Protein backbone atom coordinates (compact mmCIF):
# COMPACT_ATOMS: atom_id res chain seq x y z
CA UNK A 1 0.00 0.00 0.00
CA UNK A 2 2.74 2.43 1.00
CA UNK A 3 4.69 1.50 -2.10
CA UNK A 4 1.66 2.07 -4.25
CA UNK A 5 1.07 5.47 -2.71
CA UNK A 6 4.71 6.39 -3.07
CA UNK A 7 4.74 5.44 -6.71
CA UNK A 8 1.63 7.57 -7.20
CA UNK A 9 3.39 10.51 -5.56
CA UNK A 10 6.54 9.87 -7.60
CA UNK A 11 5.60 8.11 -10.81
CA UNK A 12 9.08 8.84 -12.18
CA UNK A 13 11.97 6.43 -11.58
CA UNK A 14 14.87 7.08 -9.18
CA UNK A 15 16.79 9.99 -10.67
CA UNK A 16 20.08 8.30 -9.85
CA UNK A 17 19.71 4.61 -10.82
CA UNK A 18 16.39 4.64 -12.76
CA UNK A 19 14.87 1.94 -10.53
CA UNK A 20 11.18 2.36 -9.72
CA UNK A 21 10.86 4.48 -6.59
CA UNK A 22 10.10 2.50 -3.43
CA UNK A 23 10.07 5.37 -0.97
CA UNK A 24 7.99 8.39 -0.15
CA UNK A 25 11.08 10.50 0.49
CA UNK A 26 11.08 14.17 -0.45
CA UNK A 27 13.97 13.37 -2.79
CA UNK A 28 13.33 11.38 -6.00
CA UNK A 29 15.83 8.67 -5.01
CA UNK A 30 15.27 4.98 -4.15
CA UNK A 31 16.23 3.38 -0.79
CA UNK A 32 19.52 1.98 -2.07
CA UNK A 33 20.61 5.33 -3.49
CA UNK A 34 19.53 7.24 -0.35
CA UNK A 35 21.45 4.75 1.79
CA UNK A 36 24.57 5.18 -0.37
CA UNK A 37 24.31 8.99 -0.24
CA UNK A 38 24.08 8.96 3.55
CA UNK A 39 27.45 7.20 4.01
CA UNK A 40 29.98 9.50 5.64
CA UNK A 41 33.75 9.42 5.17
CA UNK A 42 35.60 6.89 7.32
CA UNK A 43 38.24 7.84 9.85
CA UNK A 44 41.17 8.33 10.09
CA UNK A 45 41.11 11.66 8.30
CA UNK A 46 43.93 14.15 7.82
CA UNK A 47 43.61 16.52 10.78
CA UNK A 48 43.81 19.58 8.50
CA UNK A 49 42.23 18.86 5.09
CA UNK A 50 40.05 15.89 6.07
CA UNK A 51 41.42 13.57 3.39
CA UNK A 52 40.82 9.92 4.37
CA UNK A 53 44.18 8.41 5.23
CA UNK A 54 44.56 4.97 3.71
CA UNK A 55 48.14 4.11 4.62
CA UNK A 56 48.40 2.53 8.06
CA UNK A 57 51.81 4.10 8.62
CA UNK A 58 50.47 7.64 8.13
CA UNK A 59 47.55 6.91 10.42
CA UNK A 60 49.76 5.52 13.17
CA UNK A 61 52.67 7.93 12.82
CA UNK A 62 52.26 10.64 15.42
CA UNK A 63 49.19 11.47 17.44
CA UNK A 64 47.66 13.72 14.75
CA UNK A 65 47.19 12.09 11.34
CA UNK A 66 48.21 14.35 8.47
CA UNK A 67 48.36 13.78 4.71
CA UNK A 68 51.51 14.47 2.72
CA UNK A 69 50.05 17.68 1.23
CA UNK A 70 49.26 19.15 4.64
CA UNK A 71 52.64 18.08 5.98
CA UNK A 72 54.18 20.21 3.20
CA UNK A 73 51.73 23.04 4.00
CA UNK A 74 50.22 23.14 0.50
CA UNK A 75 46.84 24.55 1.49
CA UNK A 76 46.02 28.11 2.55
CA UNK A 77 42.85 27.03 4.40
CA UNK A 78 43.13 26.07 8.05
CA UNK A 79 40.69 23.18 8.07
CA UNK A 80 38.43 21.28 5.70
CA UNK A 81 35.90 18.48 5.96
CA UNK A 82 33.59 16.74 3.50
CA UNK A 83 30.38 14.86 4.16
CA UNK A 84 30.82 11.79 1.93
CA UNK A 85 32.91 10.26 -0.83
CA UNK A 86 32.54 11.45 -4.43
CA UNK A 87 31.07 8.16 -5.61
CA UNK A 88 29.21 7.72 -8.91
CA UNK A 89 25.90 8.05 -7.02
CA UNK A 90 27.09 11.19 -5.24
CA UNK A 91 28.31 12.65 -8.52
CA UNK A 92 24.83 12.06 -10.03
CA UNK A 93 23.17 13.71 -7.04
CA UNK A 94 25.44 16.75 -7.37
CA UNK A 95 24.74 16.92 -11.11
CA UNK A 96 21.01 16.93 -10.30
CA UNK A 97 21.62 19.85 -7.95
CA UNK A 98 23.49 21.69 -10.71
CA UNK A 99 21.33 20.90 -13.72
CA UNK A 100 18.42 18.72 -12.64
CA UNK A 101 16.29 21.24 -10.81
CA UNK A 102 15.71 18.98 -7.79
CA UNK A 103 14.78 21.75 -5.37
CA UNK A 104 14.92 19.92 -1.97
CA UNK A 105 18.44 18.64 -2.66
CA UNK A 106 20.20 21.86 -1.63
CA UNK A 107 18.45 21.79 1.75
CA UNK A 108 19.18 18.06 2.17
CA UNK A 109 22.90 18.60 1.60
CA UNK A 110 22.77 21.71 3.82
CA UNK A 111 21.48 19.63 6.77
CA UNK A 112 24.35 17.15 6.35
CA UNK A 113 26.95 19.91 6.23
CA UNK A 114 25.43 21.77 9.17
CA UNK A 115 25.70 18.55 11.19
CA UNK A 116 29.33 18.19 10.19
CA UNK A 117 30.08 21.77 11.27
CA UNK A 118 28.24 21.34 14.58
CA UNK A 119 30.25 18.23 15.45
CA UNK A 120 33.51 20.27 15.31
CA UNK A 121 32.51 23.69 16.61
CA UNK A 122 36.05 24.79 17.47
CA UNK A 123 37.53 24.04 14.04
CA UNK A 124 34.52 25.58 12.31
CA UNK A 125 34.21 28.68 14.54
CA UNK A 126 33.11 31.37 12.06
CA UNK A 127 31.61 34.82 11.61
CA UNK A 128 30.32 34.26 8.06
CA UNK A 129 29.41 31.51 5.58
CA UNK A 130 30.61 32.11 2.00
CA UNK A 131 29.85 29.93 -1.05
CA UNK A 132 32.59 29.32 -3.64
CA UNK A 133 31.46 31.64 -6.44
CA UNK A 134 30.90 30.88 -10.13
CA UNK A 135 32.19 33.24 -12.79
CA UNK A 136 29.70 35.70 -14.30
CA UNK A 137 29.19 33.77 -17.53
CA UNK A 138 28.34 30.55 -15.74
CA UNK A 139 26.13 32.32 -13.26
CA UNK A 140 24.19 33.92 -16.13
CA UNK A 141 23.91 30.64 -18.03
CA UNK A 142 22.71 28.59 -15.08
CA UNK A 143 20.91 31.29 -13.12
CA UNK A 144 22.17 30.05 -9.75
CA UNK A 145 25.28 28.81 -8.03
CA UNK A 146 25.03 25.26 -6.67
CA UNK A 147 27.40 26.05 -3.78
CA UNK A 148 25.01 28.83 -2.80
CA UNK A 149 22.03 26.44 -2.88
CA UNK A 150 23.81 24.46 -0.15
CA UNK A 151 25.52 27.29 1.74
CA UNK A 152 22.47 29.50 2.24
CA UNK A 153 20.23 26.98 4.07
CA UNK A 154 23.33 25.70 5.92
CA UNK A 155 24.09 29.21 7.23
CA UNK A 156 20.46 29.56 8.33
CA UNK A 157 20.59 26.25 10.22
CA UNK A 158 23.81 27.30 11.96
CA UNK A 159 22.68 30.86 12.67
CA UNK A 160 25.79 32.28 10.97
CA UNK A 161 25.44 35.23 8.56
CA UNK A 162 25.51 34.26 4.85
CA UNK A 163 27.73 36.47 2.67
CA UNK A 164 27.68 35.43 -0.98
CA UNK A 165 29.15 38.72 -2.21
CA UNK A 166 32.44 38.52 -0.28
CA UNK A 167 34.20 36.46 -2.96
CA UNK A 168 34.09 36.80 -6.75
CA UNK A 169 35.55 34.63 -9.47
CA UNK A 170 37.55 36.99 -11.68
CA UNK A 171 38.78 34.46 -14.24
CA UNK A 172 36.38 31.99 -15.88
CA UNK A 173 36.82 28.26 -15.68
CA UNK A 174 37.77 26.68 -19.02
CA UNK A 175 34.90 24.89 -20.75
CA UNK A 176 36.60 21.54 -20.88
CA UNK A 177 34.96 19.20 -18.38
CA UNK A 178 37.84 16.99 -17.39
CA UNK A 179 40.93 18.60 -16.00
CA UNK A 180 44.14 16.96 -14.87
CA UNK A 181 45.37 17.59 -11.34
CA UNK A 182 47.85 20.11 -12.63
CA UNK A 183 45.25 21.93 -14.75
CA UNK A 184 42.94 22.15 -11.75
CA UNK A 185 45.61 23.99 -9.81
CA UNK A 186 46.55 26.21 -12.76
CA UNK A 187 43.03 27.25 -13.74
CA UNK A 188 42.10 28.44 -10.24
CA UNK A 189 45.36 30.10 -9.22
CA UNK A 190 44.55 33.78 -8.72
CA UNK A 191 41.05 33.22 -10.15
CA UNK A 192 39.24 34.52 -7.04
CA UNK A 193 39.25 37.89 -5.30
CA UNK A 194 37.36 39.52 -2.48
CA UNK A 195 34.74 42.04 -3.58
CA UNK A 196 36.06 45.58 -3.44
CA UNK A 197 33.40 46.68 -0.94
CA UNK A 198 33.81 43.59 1.25
CA UNK A 199 35.04 43.92 4.85
CA UNK A 200 37.07 40.78 5.37
CA UNK A 201 39.64 41.91 7.92
CA UNK A 202 39.89 39.50 10.90
CA UNK A 203 36.85 37.53 9.71
CA UNK A 204 36.59 33.80 10.33
CA UNK A 205 35.04 32.20 7.25
CA UNK A 206 33.35 28.91 6.44
CA UNK A 207 33.73 28.31 2.68
CA UNK A 208 31.18 26.00 1.07
CA UNK A 209 31.54 24.02 -2.16
CA UNK A 210 30.03 20.89 -3.69
CA UNK A 211 33.14 18.78 -4.34
CA UNK A 212 36.68 18.75 -2.95
CA UNK A 213 38.72 17.27 -5.80
CA UNK A 214 42.32 18.44 -5.40
CA UNK A 215 41.56 21.21 -2.90
CA UNK A 216 42.80 23.76 -5.45
CA UNK A 217 39.54 25.74 -5.47
CA UNK A 218 39.26 26.02 -1.68
CA UNK A 219 42.95 26.91 -1.61
CA UNK A 220 42.59 29.70 -4.19
CA UNK A 221 39.53 31.13 -2.39
CA UNK A 222 41.35 30.96 0.94
CA UNK A 223 44.35 32.83 -0.48
CA UNK A 224 42.06 35.63 -1.67
CA UNK A 225 40.31 35.82 1.72
CA UNK A 226 43.51 35.70 3.73
CA UNK A 227 45.15 38.22 1.42
CA UNK A 228 42.30 40.56 2.35
CA UNK A 229 42.91 39.94 6.06
CA UNK A 230 40.66 36.98 6.95
CA UNK A 231 41.74 35.44 10.27
CA UNK A 232 40.67 31.88 9.54
CA UNK A 233 39.19 29.86 6.69
CA UNK A 234 37.53 26.46 7.10
CA UNK A 235 36.13 24.67 4.06
CA UNK A 236 33.21 22.26 3.96
CA UNK A 237 32.08 20.28 0.92
CA UNK A 238 29.41 17.70 0.22
CA UNK A 239 31.79 15.24 -1.42
CA UNK A 240 35.45 14.32 -1.49
CA UNK A 241 37.16 12.79 -4.50
CA UNK A 242 39.14 9.75 -3.39
CA UNK A 243 41.76 7.64 -5.12
CA UNK A 244 39.92 5.01 -7.19
CA UNK A 245 41.21 2.15 -5.07
CA UNK A 246 39.56 3.48 -1.92
CA UNK A 247 36.32 4.74 -3.46
CA UNK A 248 33.27 2.60 -2.64
CA UNK A 249 30.13 2.30 -4.74
CA UNK A 250 31.56 1.47 -8.16
CA UNK A 251 29.30 0.25 -10.92
CA UNK A 252 27.54 3.42 -12.03
CA UNK A 253 29.13 5.49 -14.78
CA UNK A 254 31.15 8.33 -13.33
CA UNK A 255 30.97 11.87 -14.59
CA UNK A 256 33.37 14.46 -13.34
CA UNK A 257 32.14 17.98 -13.46
CA UNK A 258 33.86 19.00 -10.23
CA UNK A 259 35.93 22.15 -9.76
Interface residue list for Zn ion (CB under 5 A):
14, 16-17, 19, 30, 33, 46, 48-49, 51, 67, 70
Gap between the Cα atoms of 98 and 147, Å rounded: 9
- Nearest CA-CA partner of 151 in 193, 94, 203, 107: 107
Q: How far is the CB of 66 from Zn ion (least distance, A)?
A: 6
Which residue's CB is nearer to Zn ion, number 17 or number 157? 17
Q: How far is the CB of 45 from Zn ion (least distance, A)?
A: 8
> Which residues are bridge partners to 82 per DSSP?
237
Gap between the Cα atoms of 58 and 79, Å rounded: 18
Q: How far is the CB of 22 from Zn ion (least distance, A)?
A: 9
Which residue's CB is nearer to Zn ion, number 48 or number 87? 48
Residues 131/150, Cβ–Cβ less than 8 Å: yes
Gap between the Cα atoms of 137 and 132, Å rounded: 15
Which residue's CB is nearer to Zn ion, number 155 or number 207? 207
Q: How far is the CB of 201 from Zn ion (least distance, A)?
A: 27
Which residue's CB is nearer to Zn ion, number 78 or number 210? 78
Which residue's CB is nearer to Zn ion, number 92 or number 163? 92
Which residue's CB is nearer to Zn ion, number 19 or number 136? 19
Q: How far is the CB of 33 from Zn ion (least distance, A)?
A: 3
DSSP string, 172-190: PPPS-S---HHHHHHHHTT
C-alpha distances in Å from residue 250, one per residue of 1, 28, 89, 91, 210: 33, 21, 9, 12, 20
Gap between the Cα atoms of 205 and 126, Å rounded: 5
3-state secondary structure of 81: strand
Q: How far is the CB of 18 from Zn ion (least distance, A)?
A: 7
Amino acid sequence: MRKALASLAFPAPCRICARILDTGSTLPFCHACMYALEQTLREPLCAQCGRPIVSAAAAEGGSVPQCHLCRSQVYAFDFARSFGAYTPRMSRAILLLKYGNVAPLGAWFARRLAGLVQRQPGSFAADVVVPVPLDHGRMRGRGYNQAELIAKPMARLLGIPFRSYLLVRTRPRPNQLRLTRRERWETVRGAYATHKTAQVDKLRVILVDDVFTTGATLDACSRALKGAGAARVAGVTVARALPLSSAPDAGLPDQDFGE
